[in-house]
Chain A
């Protein structure tokens, strides 16, 4: 199967149609960081008509790990008996006293893993260490993390702990829209989160807020098609949740994965960088698994770190302001010395604006 969808003629036809359908300024938000990277690598922004703006939403590794969370992970990693395991995405996210990469440089045992399968293997292989899995991810990843928790119990691994930092997408979107005003006209919805949760959890976007959403894949043509489907809805005055990524997303999602997730985790309020606390937007271990909860086992208090003064990331993430509106943009906040998540994340809205704003392509 040739699964890559990047034929230039098809792309040209889609872009032409997109340009034809755009009637006035329009702002579409791609929620998931993976879409941000795919859009960037395919060079899609440069192909969009000037009235169409693609905004990066909060679904990225930087946004879901507030400074306080990184600080807590770094603190744990520094303990000599601890091995901290994490996905690579978190290594460079800044904390108040450095990132996990910096902690590693200073001697902390921080290891990058590719899969919860590795987390269990490391715990089994290092019985004299306390192995803490700093677990980040959305609904796509949480079922696999749930497996790790249950498997650690099945293998009676008493040295396995979870530092949960997982987030949920629909509550975050609800929070963005419930702020009262919104600068977003439609959503490019995360294809792989939807493989797990299906279509129903997004219906409120259309029904309660009258906005369209299209569950989109990650190949260049997928994204162009998803944008086209959103524009068609706009043109036709409709607001519905549609599936562009039909080859992977089923209406009901993946019930097996959902079931395991629900067995191991419960929703809880959670903090997002730049957005503050969002109700029921995170996952914590259910009581039956609490002995593996690193926060309890290591007695780790959470120290709130205030978002930097003047930083407008919160409003930029909601689509209400743009990078040049922020007093810090380019003045103290740059990709080399970023302050808020929109600049920390290498393809965040501010970082992208900074890097590509001045180059005519």
Chain B
């Protein structure tokens, strides 16, 4: 490992995992943390508490379809929802750079509140710190969230089983592309909006249709490929995907073509992946498509016994490709 933090450590791929394994876990490790799930599920007498934390450092702060406030609220709610938990409350801590316009802060807060209303959750605790000009690049937000996991619901990243169908709730990569275009580094003009949204309502609808959903995860940093790899590894299953089933918008493809990016590594912030036993899939799919955030739901593959821990893509032309997890940052290429 290197001796300094690199941007690649934040990309959500192999290097992030390496940092967690080699530095964070040895220091902080315990059974709960080591499962590396989206939220910790803690036993309360008479129930299970889901508990998660997250930080938001997105640049730019405002982008089509959202901003750092909306992102923070949705991301935290989604971490709880991916365990099947009903969110109870969110806390948000703001690190503000000296000189940050109050007008912008207000916009962020209102956006956060709007997202909270959509999710049916409240921001119940907060904190503010101010740092000197030059630090924090405007605003950083750190959150925590707690939720209740209903009895009988066992949804976890290690829960996928051979035979499960893999379902995606909608087109992938919109968020990351919206942010990239908004950043302005590449002088692109596009209409892509971030898909940032709270998914707890969708998950509730899915769980109403089936109490046997095995695994849920939202494909954020590292995208579809990395997220499926995490689940495949944690569950000890292989995953076979059909490329032609994977929904990706034409404009997202266009940006990927221009930058040489692989769309399977782009983050979404309002989509989920579900591993559902085959017999339950039809019901779950219908429930998803009946929900506004699941209209584009598609079956994209299945979990298999061999080879465990690997994700294979059957390409459009009928070939095969292994989807590795993201290795570092994705850089735009000319080659």
Give A residues with C-beta under 8 Å from B: 6-8, 11-12, 15, 32-34, 37, 40-47, 60-61, 87-89, 91-92, 101-102, 104-106, 112, 114, 118, 137, 141, 220-221, 224, 336, 346, 355-356, 359-361
**A361 x B312 contact (CB < 8 A):** yes
Question: Which of B4, B262, B318 counts the most chain A CB atoms within 10 A?
Answer: B318
- Cβ proximity bits B129-143 to A, threshold 8 Å, 1 near / 0 not: 000000000000000
* Complex: chain B residue closest to A6, CB-CB: B316
Question: CB-CB contacts of B222-266 with A at 8 A, as 1s and 0s?
Answer: 000000000000000000000010000000000000111010000
Inter-subunit contact A41/B335 (CB<8 Å)? no
Number of A-B contacts (CB under 8 A): 109
Please, which residue of chain A has its CB at the minimum distance from the CB of B324?
Answer: A355
Does chain A have a CB within 8 A of B319?
yes
Q: How far is the CA of A218 from the CA of B234 in the complex (A)?
A: 36
Q: A37-B335, A91-B331, A114-B259 are in contact. Are A101 and B6 (CB under 8 A)?
A: yes
Contact A112 B4 (CB under 8 A): no
* Contact present for A89 and B335 (CB under 8 Å): yes
Q: Given A7-B317, A15-B318, A42-B321, list of 11 further CB < 8 A pairs? A: A40-B321, A43-B320, A44-B317, A45-B319, A88-B334, A89-B334, A105-B4, A112-B332, A220-B317, A220-B319, A355-B322
A113 to chain B, nearest CB (A): 9
B5 adjacent to chain A (CB < 8 Å): yes
Determine the chain B residues whose CB is within 8 A of the CB of A15 once the complex forms.
318
B7 interfacial contact with A, CB 8 Å? yes
Determine if A42 and B317 form an interchain contact, defined as CB atoms under 8 angstroms apart.
Answer: yes
Interface pair B321/A106, CB less than 8 Å apart: no
Cβ A89 vs Cβ B333 within 8 A:
yes
B244 / chain A contacts, CB cutoff of 8 Å:
8
CB distance from B17 to the nearest CB of A (A): 12
| CB-nearest residue of chain A to B327 | A346
Given A101-B6, A346-B327: A42 in contact with B333 (beta carbons within 8 A): no
Contact for A141 among B5, B314, B320, B334, CB less than 8 A? B334
B45 within 8 Å of A by Cβ? no
CB distance from B329 to the nearest CB of A (A): 8
Bound complex: CA A137 to CA B334 (Å): 8
Known: A37-B335, A41-B262, A89-B334. A47 touches B4 (CB 8 A): no
Structural contact, A220 and B312, CB atoms closer than 8 A: no
CB distance from A268 to the nearest CB of B (A): 22
- Verify B328–A92 contact, CB threshold 8 A: yes
Contact B333 A87 (CB under 8 A): yes
**Residues of chain B from 255 to 300 with CB closer than 8 A to chain A in the complex:** 258-260, 262
Known: A37-B335, A92-B328, A101-B6. A44 touches B322 (CB 8 A): no
Structural contact, B317 and A6, CB atoms closer than 8 A: yes
Chain B residues within CB distance 8 Å of chain A? 2, 4-8, 14, 185-187, 244, 258-260, 262, 307, 310, 312-322, 324, 327-329, 331-335
Question: In the complex, what residues of B have CB within 8 A of residue A105's CB?
Answer: 2, 4-7
Q: Please state if A101 and B8 are interface contacts (CB–CB under 8 Å).
A: yes
How far, in whole Å, are A45 and B315 apart by their CA atoms in the complex?
11
A-side binding surface: helix, strand, loop or mixed?
helix
Q: Establish whether residues A34 and B335, one from each chain, have CB atoms under 8 Å apart when the complex forms.
A: yes
Contacts of A33 in B (CB 8 A): 335
Task: Give B59 Cβ to nearest chain A Cβ, in Å.
Answer: 15
Query: Which residues of A are found within 8 Å of B317, using beta-carbon distances?
Result: 6-8, 11, 42-44, 47, 220-221, 224
Q: Are A101 and B7 in contact (CB under 8 A)?
A: yes
- A224-B319 Cα distance, complex, nearest whole Å: 11
Alpha-carbon distance between A69 and B198 when the two chains are bound, in angstroms: 48
Q: Which of A12, A33, A44 has the most CB of B within 10 A?
A: A44
A133 to chain B, nearest CB (A): 13
Q: Closest residue to B316 on the A side, CB-wise?
A: A6
Contacts known (A11-B318, A41-B315, A220-B317); A359 close to B307, Cβ less than 8 A: yes
- Nearest residue, chain B, Cβ from A345: B335
Please, which residues of chain B bring their CB within 8 A of the CB of A8?
Answer: 244, 316-318
**B8 contacts across to A, CB distance below 8 A:** 101
Contact residues in B for A106 (Cβ distance below 8 Å): 4
Decide: A112 and B331 in contact? CB cutoff 8 A.
yes
A42-B335 in contact (CB<8A): no
Instruction: Point out the residues of chain B lying under 8 angstroms from A220, CB to CB.
Output: 315-317, 319
Quote the shortest CB–CB distance from B174 to chain A (angstroms): 20
Contact A43 to B313, CB < 8 A, known contacts A101-B8, A101-B328: yes
CA distance A355 to B321 in the complex (A): 10
Give the docked Cα–Cα distance between A116 and B320 (Å): 36
Residues on A with C-beta less than 8 A from B307 are 359-360
| CB-based nearest B residue for A45 | B319
